Amino acid sequence: MTGSTEGPRNYRESAEPPGFGAKVAVGWSPERLHELSMLRGLYEELLPPRQREVLALKLDEDLSLSEMAERLGVSRAACEDALRRAERSLDDIERRLCLMKQQVRMRENVDRVISVLLSMDDSNWRRRREDAVRWLKTVFGGEEPNGV
C-alpha cells in the first residue's frame, strides 16, 4: 500500500461495516453510495428528520457539505455529523434486520429461476421445471405445486 490517503479502505481489515466512522461526505465510492441508497429506501423512516434531510441532499442532489450547510442554515460540521450518524444508523439497522441482505439473496435466486426457465426446451422441460420449482421453494418456501 502506498502512502496515499485517497481511495477505498480495505474493509476486510476492520470488523466495522464499510464507511463506518469514515469521513462520509468526501470519498464515498459509487458502490457505497448505491448501498446507502438501498438502505435508505428500506429504513429511511427510522432516521430522525435531520439525518433524512442531509442524506437526501447528498444522495439525491449530490451536494457538498458546504452546499448542504448553506441550504439548511447550519454549520458544515453539523451536516457532516448528521451524515455520519445517518450512515451509522442505516448500517446498524441493516446489521440487526438484514432486509437488504435478504433482498439481494432473493434477487439472486429469482435470477437463477429466470435462467433455468430461459434454458427450457422440448427436450429438457421436465428437468428444468423441477429445477425452477426447487429454486422457487428456496426463495419463497412452501410446497411443490401438484400437476403440470
Identify whether residues 22 and 93 lie together within a single domain: yes
Q: What is the pLDDT of residue 137?
A: 86
Which residues are within 8 A (CB) of 21 and not within 5 positions of it... i.e. 6 or more apart?
84, 88
Q: Count the Cβ atoms, other than its own, within 10 Å of residue 49.
A: 8
Residue 3 located in a structural domain: no
What residues make up the domain containing 135? 102-140
Identify whether residues 89 and 63 lie together within a single domain: yes
Q: What is the pLDDT of residue 135?
A: 82
The alpha-helical segments, DSSP class H, found in the chain are: 30-43, 49-61, 65-72, 76-97, 99-118, 125-140
Identify whether residues 60 and 133 lie together within a single domain: no
Identify whether residues 93 and 118 lie together within a single domain: no
Q: What is the pLDDT of residue 56?
A: 97
pLDDT by position in tens, the chain (length 148): 444 444 433 333 334 444 444 444 446 899 999 999 999 999 999 999 999 999 999 999 999 999 999 999 999 999 999 999 999 999 999 999 999 999 998 889 889 889 988 999 999 999 999 988 888 887 777 554 444 3
- Global confidence as pTM: 0.67
The answer to whether the CB of 43 falls within 8 A of the CB of 93 is yes
What the block records as the C-alpha cell of 63 is 451536494
Q: What is the pLDDT of residue 142?
A: 59
